[in-house]
Every structure is written in structure tokens, then in C-alpha cells.
Amino acid sequence: MKKVTDYENKKVLVLGLAKSGVSAAKLLHELGALVTVNDFKQFDQNPEAQDLLTLGIRVVTGGHPIELLDEDFAFVVKNPGIPYSNPLVEKALDRKIPVLTEVELAYQISECPIIGITGTNGKTTTTTMIGLLLNADRKEGTARLAGNIGYPASTVAEEAIATDDIVMELSSFQLMGIQSFQPQIAVITNIYEAHLDYHGNREEYVKAKWRIQENMTEKECLVLNWNQKELRELSETSKATIVPFSTEEKVEGAYTIGDKIYFKDELVMHTTELGVPGSHNIENALAAITVAKLKDVETAVIKETLQTFTGVPHRTQYIGKFNDRNFYNDSKATNILATEMALSGFKPEKLILLAGGLDRGNSFEELVPSLKKIKAVIVFGETKYKLAEAAEAAGVSFIKLTENVETAVIEAYDYSEKDDTILLSPSCASWDQYPNFELRGEAFIQAVNRLKEIEK
């Protein structure tokens, strides 16, 4: 960790806890800041706040009182999940108090290079691929995963040494709170429409994603999906060195011709050799290969690593084969596009889709083309009627409404035949029935395991 003295005796407000808030509060306290933590959850139900209090950190719980800002804070570190429409955040900005996210702190203390990955879909898979590629046959240091992938960025940066790399997944929420953040390599996997309930409109969402490169210079590399016209146009406004990837044309980076993957005229591997299915995973692999080549990873190492990579938990994760049926967990598919991408990786006539979840008010008309020729659709949760309508419009012959993921697995198995694939790809957030997509995915896995016990 770099020796940073900028925070000594500075009054700092950490707004919201969870993993990143706790990490930021402890780091700032260690750096000599006068930290106040404010969390909405009541103190007696807030073990994180209780823990911080034992360290001598001031905690204010049970709400977000505006009068806290009368205490002359130098800046606020905000949990990414707290919207900018929060009255305390709005008031801080009105008073010209900088509102940062924890990834900015991580950058300021990091001794090693940071590789930042953002985009609408594919962030977690691409981040994981990059981490594996940079650690394969590595001679010095470690590539450490951080950020939105589940490891607080500031904790990872505190532990990292100069010979490491931090491979940091970044959400639009996190990127809105940066100031000097300057990755050595930045990746934008793609940009589609998402999180409009947080950002207000697509323009603001894209602006948040594009912030990843705002402090970069020609010494740093910006890896972009050249299939997207929007990113090609935005690239003209960046000072970074652009390194593209594409499945549609030959570019000065990673690209495909037929079923072959190249990096600047060098054959890397065949798309059929990738350990994860789907056209979207070819794009993810191209992004990861680009970073690996920029970091001088040998081609043979890249090929071997990507051949054995079978996906990340809850993202088109292969659960295994049982009674000649294949099971895949794609619980992280919380929007239509993610489900469309997952469906593209399978033969529809042998595919049974499990979908449903929180109703955000949208229809599923966009999903209809991807549902055509699918063998069956099992739907659950708040959106089951809407998804059933979409499946009917697509001409799906077997549509079944059920209660939840667990019952959906039973219905799917009962209808399935030899060599079928049963795929959980909900196309919706989980919050109507499950606290998060991880627990929804675990419910799917457990239901599959129970099937095995019943059939013994």
C-alpha cells in the first residue's frame, strides 16, 4: 500500500456499509482520517456498525440525517447502491462536497497497476478470464480480482504489492464516484440499456460507463468492443490508446475469422475450443485475450487456460449432467439481453428455459425472437404471466407456470428427455423471491441435487 498522508485529520463521512463501506471506513481510519459512518440500518441489527465502533470509529445509524453535513466533511465515500437522489447525497453535492466511491480510494493507495473492466454484460466473466490468464504461468506477483466481482477494491489494494495486478470489475455506480482513477488497461465489454431506474436515462448511463477512461493517456490502453458503433464513435473522444476486439471484422486487436480467434494476425485458438458456450462468451474471450496479450502472456498459455475455463458461478455455469440431462445456472441474467446471450449458446430444440422474477414494469417482447424453436419454457415469480405471453408469441409448444426456481426444476425435469439442457436464465432481478441472484442460483443447484437424491 502506498503511504498516503492526504487523509490525516480529515473529516470523512462514509455513507452506507455493506462490504465496500466497511472496507473504506477501516482504510480511512488506518490512514488517519476522522471517520464517521452513517448507515440506514438500526445499530442493534447492524453487526458491521458495531464492529467499527469497537475500532474507535464513530457510527450514526437508523437513517441518513441531513444535519450530519453541518460537520464540515472534506468528502463523502458513498456505497454504490445508494442513489444520487438520496437527500443527503444531493445536499452534499449542493455544498460542493466531493462524493466518491471506494474504488477511488483503492486507486490512490494501490502500488500496482489496475486493469478496470466495465460494460452492461460480461463483466464478471471477462474479469475472471483475465485474472486466470494473468496468473497462468506467472513468475512474479499475483493478479488479484476486486471490485464489483465481490472483493472490496480498497481491501485488495491495501494488500497488493508492486508486482501484482488488480483486475477490477467496475459498475456504472462505482464509476460515478471516481476522481483521479486511472487504470493501466480499461475494458468496455459492451454498452446496452440498463439501470435506467438509477441513472434516469441512457445518456447518463453511457456517460457513467465512459468515465472509466477519462483520466487515461496514450500510455494506457482502452480495449473496446468494435462490434458496437456507439463505442467506435466514443473512441474518437478518448486520449487512451485504443485496442479493439471484434467478431465481425479484422481489427488491430483480437478478432475472429470463421471459427478461428486471432490477435493481430496470430492464431490463438478456435472458438470451439473455448470452455464456455455462447457467442457472448466469444466476445468475452476476445476482450480477455486482448488484455493478456497486452500483458505479454504467451499464446499457448492463453489457449490452455481458456480451454479449461468453464464459467463463473451463476453466469452460464455448468452444473453437470444427470440422467442424460445437462444443467446450467445463469442466475446472474437479470435482464433480457443477458438471457438472449445465454440462449444463443444452445440448440433451442433441446433446451428448456427457466425464467422469471421481479416485475420492473417492462414487457418481454424483445425476448420473443430468442424463444422461437425452444422446446419448453417454465416461468415463475412476479413476471411469470408476462413471460408466458412472450413464450406463446414465440410459438413455444410447452409453457408451464410454477411457483419458484425449486418447483421450476421439478417441472423441467419431468418434461425433459435424454440429451436435453435445462437452463436457469431468469431475465429478471431476484428480489421478488430471493435476496440476490446468488441465492437464487444456489436454490437452483440445490434443487438439481435433490433430484439426484430422489432418483437414486
Q: Indicate whether 107 and 253 sit together in one domain.
A: yes
Domain CATH number, residue 376: 3.90.190.20
DSSP, collapsed to helix, strand or coil, labels residue 228 as coil
pLDDT at 341: 87
pLDDT number for residue 121: 87
Ligand-binding annotation for 119, yes or no, is yes
Query: What does the pLDDT read at residue 315?
Result: 84
Give the CATH number, domain containing residue 83. 3.40.50.720
The pLDDT, as a whole number, for residue 195 is: 64
Domain count, the chain: 3
Same domain, 190 and 283: yes
d(CA 276, CA 279): 10
Calpha distance 192→355 (Å, rounded): 21
| CA nearest neighbour of 345 among 263, 411, 271, 398 | 271
Query: Does residue 248 fall inside a structural domain?
Result: yes
Q: Using the predicted structure, report yes or no on whether residue 304 has a pLDDT greater than 80.
A: yes
Backbone phi, psi, residue 153, to 5°: -60, -40
d(CA 167, CA 186): 10
Last residue of a domain, one of 276, 308, 340: 308
Does residue 113 sit in the same domain as residue 258? yes
pLDDT at 405 over 80: yes
Q: Which of 259, 276, 308 is the last residue of a domain?
A: 308
- Do the domain assignments include residue 91? yes
123 labelled ligand-binding: yes
For the segment 324-351, the average pLDDT, to the nearest whole number, is: 93
Give residue 109's identity as a one-letter amino acid code. I
Taking 3-state DSSP, the helix, strand and coil percentages for the chain, each rounded to the nearest 5, stand at 40, 20, 40
Q: Is residue 304 part of a domain?
A: yes
Is 121 annotated as contributing to ligand binding?
Answer: yes
Coil, strand, or helix at residue 165?
strand
Q: What is the mean pLDDT of residues 382-389?
A: 98
**Whole-number pLDDT of residue 279:** 85
As a whole number of Å, the end-to-end CA separation of the chain is 53
For residue 4, being part of any structural domain is answered with no
Q: Which of 73, 100, 127 is the last residue of a domain?
A: 100
pLDDT of residue 421: 97
Kindly indicate the confidence band of residue 194, based on its pLDDT and cuts at 50, 70 and 90. low
Q: Does one domain contain both 323 and 291?
A: no
Residue 267 has pLDDT above 80, yes or no: yes
125 is in an annotated binding site: yes
CA 422 from centre of chain? 24
Q: Does one domain contain both 150 and 288?
A: yes
Residues 290 and 327 placed together within one structural domain of the fold: no
Please check the confidence at residue 32 and state whether its pLDDT lies above 80. Answer: yes
Residue 200 reports pLDDT greater than 90:
no
Q: Which has more pLDDT, 452 or 271?
A: 271
pLDDT, residue 456, reads: 59
Does 5 fall in a domain?
Answer: no
Is residue 101 marked as binding?
A: no
Note whether 109 and 256 are same-domain residues. Answer: yes
Res 3: pLDDT: 83
311 among annotated binding-site residues = no
Same-domain pairing of 88 and 109: no
Is 2 inside a domain boundary? no
| Residue 307 pLDDT | 96
Per-residue model confidence (pLDDT) at position 43:
95
Least confident of 188-197, 248-257, 374-383, 413-422: 188-197
Domain assignment present for residue 277? The answer is yes
Structure confidence at residue 9 (pLDDT) = 96
Structural domain that includes position 397: 317-455
- In DSSP notation, 342-411 reads HHTTS-GGGEEEEEE----S---GGGHHHHTT-SEEEEESTTHHHHHHHHHHTT-SEEEE-SSHHHHHHH
Full strand arrangement of the beta sheet holding 421-424 = 317-322, 325-329, 421-424, 351-356, 376-380, 398-401
Percentage with pLDDT > 90 across the chain: 86
CA 331 – CA 356 distance, rounded (Å): 10
Q: 10 Å Cβ neighbour count for 34?
A: 18
Please give the share of the chain, as a percent, with pLDDT higher than 70.
Answer: 98
Residues 157 and 50 in one domain: no
Same domain membership, residue 264 and residue 213:
yes
Residues 421 and 443 in one domain: yes
Shared domain check, 282 and 187: yes
Domain annotation covers residue 3: no
The CA distance from 340 to 109, in Å, is 40
Q: What single-letter amino acid sits at 77?
A: V
* Cβ–Cβ under 8 Å, residues 377 and 355: yes
